Amino acid sequence: MNNNYIPFGDLKGGRLILAAFVLALANFMVVLDMTIANVSVPHITGSLAVSSSQGTWVITSYAVAEAICVPLTGWLAGRFGAVRLFVISLIGFTVFSVLCGLSSSLEMLVFCRIGQGLFGGPIMPLSQTLLMRIFPPEKQSQAMGMWAMTTVVGPILGPILGGSISDNLSWHWIFFINIPVGIFCAIAALRLLKPAETLISKIRIDTIGLFLLILWIGALQLMLDLGHENDWFNSTFICVLAVITVVGLVLFIIWELTEQHPVVNIQIFRYSGFTFSVLSLAFAFGAFFSSIVLIPQWVQINLGYTATWAGYLTATMGFGSLLMSPIVAKMATKYDQRILASFGLSLLAVVTLMRAFWTTDSDFMALAWPQILQGFAVPFFFIPLSNMALASVQPHEMASAAGLMNFLRTMAGAIGASIAVTLWDDHTKVARSEMVSNLHVDEVQNTLMQSGMSSEGALGYISSLVDKEALTLSANHVFLILAMVFVFAALIVWLAPRPKLGMGGGGHAH
């Protein structure tokens, strides 16, 4: 760890604290943007006149662009210098935030969100690396603690901010609030972090690897996002995308295994500890992110929640996460981390199962309890699995392993969200047609007409009731599937070899 630390003469006391604050704030802004749009999707889809499954593109396009850029961070930092790249990323992120806010069509918004993700991707790993460079070894763990807090608090504050801004101003402002933060961080980083700049070397980029990476991820995400509207594999376009995804992935793996300086170091998968920890993390994060995307949409469409209240509901998960993170980090040094991880994942499965019994008249507390419990469960799977994965590789492979882990986690989130929203939409139609075939509309319609409704009004009222119930039944169905994914993730953990105790990293469990 300390081989990266360089004692900087003028980075002491107040300046050091300020530099750390700037790095944490930049990370916070990027993490915040992953969830701030979640509760605003109904507002955005309403104002741009698109469907809710299309609205999800606003979330997934950002996640995918970010995922593509994370594994490239190491190469980019070596080519341009870590501080310079950090400042460029901040400026690019801020410019695209302005453009997102000015967007007047879904196409423009999704395009600008991709730009935001491409520039936002490197900020997370860079803020971590630069913190390690400016703090002396004995203070690095406190610095990392501060950084981790921003990573946990961002997704909690995102929905609250997103909700209140969308309700009180307009959804455009959820992007404009990045402007002052981005400008401040960029100027401060230029002034303070100059001495922490890394050496630049002319490293050759693996262009073919990069092209294949973008090709198969792009095709996969397009397939997931457009499949639903184009009736999946009955459409030639979707079939072509599926072929591109599979062929691209296979070629990418073969190329990266033979390339001397690969974009993504796939060799790391030779450690079974890394492979199974990351697989479990990816499945769990996919299911976890799906529920974070689905719940705000369901409560707003169905229970008439405002975006602000949907934000409060999503954020109730924060208390448990903040409380348990330091405790779990301590426990991870004393107990078998596989036990902690499978406990956390099993708890998440139970919580998700609780949601499968939600009804159209559930009150706020019935919805909030699973969220609160979920907050307690998240650190239990997140911290041990990340530790186990990084502890399985050699010290010099740490950076590649961290990049690969973040990449797979972000991708799993984007793919999970796309699949969950598609399942929700498709199953709603099935549930609706099943209910309609069993309804005896005439009696109800007559009763409603006697209480003073017109015949069209009565039919409309019945139709909206059926819609609501169908959406709820379908959401319950998706939660059942997600609960099974959590159980599966909890079982995969046990395929990893037993991690050595008290091992922070750089050990090798094969």
Do 130 and 159 sit in the same domain of this protein?
yes
Do 185 and 244 sit in the same domain of this protein?
no
CATH of the domain at 461: 1.20.1250.20
Do 190 and 84 sit in the same domain of this protein?
yes
d(CA 453, CA 444): 11
Last residue within a domain, chosen from 190, 205, 220: 205
pLDDT for 507 equals 38
d(CA 411, CA 426): 23
d(CA 312, CA 320): 14
d(CA 507, CA 468): 53
Q: Is the CB of residue 311 less than 8 Å from the CB of residue 163?
A: yes
Last residue within a domain, chosen from 262, 279, 294: 262
Q: Is the CB of residue 189 less than 8 Å from the CB of residue 26?
A: yes
- DSSP 8-state code for residue 229: T
pLDDT for 11 equals 60
Total number of domains constituting the chain? 3
Structure tokens at 67: 């995922």
pLDDT for 467 equals 79
Last residue within a domain, chosen from 205, 229, 245: 205
> Within its chain, how far is the Cα of 453 from the centroid?
46
Do 99 and 219 sit in the same domain of this protein?
no
d(CA 446, CA 345): 50
Do 229 and 317 sit in the same domain of this protein?
no
Residue with tokens 């073919």: 208
Question: Which DSSP string corresponds to 373-419?
Answer: HHHHHHHHHHHHHHHHHHHTS-GGGHHHHHHHHHHHHHHHHHHHHHH
pTM: 0.76
Do 238 and 325 sit in the same domain of this protein?
no
Amino acid at site 451: S
Do 427 and 279 sit in the same domain of this protein?
yes
Do 213 and 331 sit in the same domain of this protein?
no
pLDDT for 254 equals 87
Nearest to 417 by CA among 228, 187, 232: 228
Do 327 and 201 sit in the same domain of this protein?
no
Do 188 and 220 sit in the same domain of this protein?
no
Amino acid at site 74: G
| Per-run averaged pLDDT (10 residues), the chain, 510 residues | 49 74 83 74 76 73 80 76 87 90 82 88 80 71 68 72 78 84 87 72 77 84 74 80 90 85 77 86 87 79 77 77 76 78 88 80 79 83 77 71 79 82 80 77 76 76 79 82 89 80 42
Nearest to 205 by CA among 393, 75, 360: 75
- DSSP 8-state code for residue 495: G
- Taking residue 191's Cβ as centre, other Cβ atoms within 10 Å add up to 12
d(CA 446, CA 458): 8
Distances (CA, A) of 68 to 221, 251, 317, 407: 12, 17, 28, 7
d(CA 89, CA 432): 46
pLDDT for 29 equals 83
pLDDT for 6 equals 53
Q: Helix (H, G, I), strand (E, B), or coil: what is residue 502?
A: coil
pLDDT for 247 equals 92
Do 142 and 25 sit in the same domain of this protein?
yes
Angle in degrees, CA 20, 329, 82, rounded to 5: 30
Do 422 and 451 sit in the same domain of this protein?
yes
The boundaries of the domain holding residue 63 are 1-205
